[in-house]
């Protein structure tokens, strides 16, 4: 299946990236690498998913939030690809920031919500390097934020 057949099978519709919350842009391409800005966890209606893992957000909720971020990242990536995600050669790396209470240590499980979806959609090209860790806070109180580096054709 192509990327778009997989997205359709998963009933995922990509959106154009939201306007950045501040003085930056959502992605920059240099050579054949696209650097995507940190994307905040959002609900389908665009509102921020606020909270902290280990305090008032469960691992399962965090995984769903990370999956939502991956969908938004793919929307931004589609724009970077001039509308065609088939130009994606490789998801290179994610950096996943999890809003964490002092004793929460399952950032890797939360981040799998994004990593698994990228693997489902892009297959071998979706296998990426990754760092995931717990941060003190995230802009607007979001429970997670993920940035991504992608090689495109």
Q: Which residues bind a copy of itself (CB under 8 A)?
A: 20-28, 30-33, 35-38, 89-95, 97, 100-109, 111-112, 115-116, 119, 127-141, 145, 147, 149, 151
| CB 75, min distance to a copy of itself, A | 15
| CB 116, min distance to a copy of itself, A | 5
Q: Which of 147, 129, 38, 117 is nearest to 91 (CA)?
A: 129
CA atoms lying within 13 Å on the CB side of residue 7:
18
Residue closer to a copy of itself by CB (options 13, 28) is: 28
Q: Are 9 and 1 within 8 A, CB to CB? A: yes
CA distance 99 to 137: 5
Residue closer to a copy of itself by CB (options 31, 46) is: 31
| CB 130, min distance to a copy of itself, A | 4
| CB 34, min distance to a copy of itself, A | 9
CA distance 85 to 80: 9
Neighbours of 120 (CB within 10 A): 15
């Amino acid at each position: 299946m192509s990327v778009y057949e997989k997205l359709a099978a998963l009933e995922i519709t990509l959106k154009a990236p939201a306007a950045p919350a501040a003085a930056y842009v959502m992605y920059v391409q240099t050579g054949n690498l696209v650097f995507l800005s940190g994307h905040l966890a959002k609900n389908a209606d665009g509102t921020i998913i606020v909270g902290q893992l280990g305090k008032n957000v469960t691992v399962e909720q965090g995984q769903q939030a990370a999956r939502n971020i991956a969908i938004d990242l793919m929307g931004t990536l589609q724009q970077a690809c001039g509308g065609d995600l088939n130009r994606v050669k490789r998801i290179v790396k994610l950096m996943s920031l999890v809003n964490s209470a002092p004793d929460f240590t399952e950032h890797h499980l939360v981040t799998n919500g994004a990593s698994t979806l990228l693997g489902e959609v892009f297959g071998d090209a979706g296998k990426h390097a990754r760092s995931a860790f717990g941060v003190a806070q995230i802009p607007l109180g979001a429970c997670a934020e993920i940035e991504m580096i992608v090689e495109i054709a």
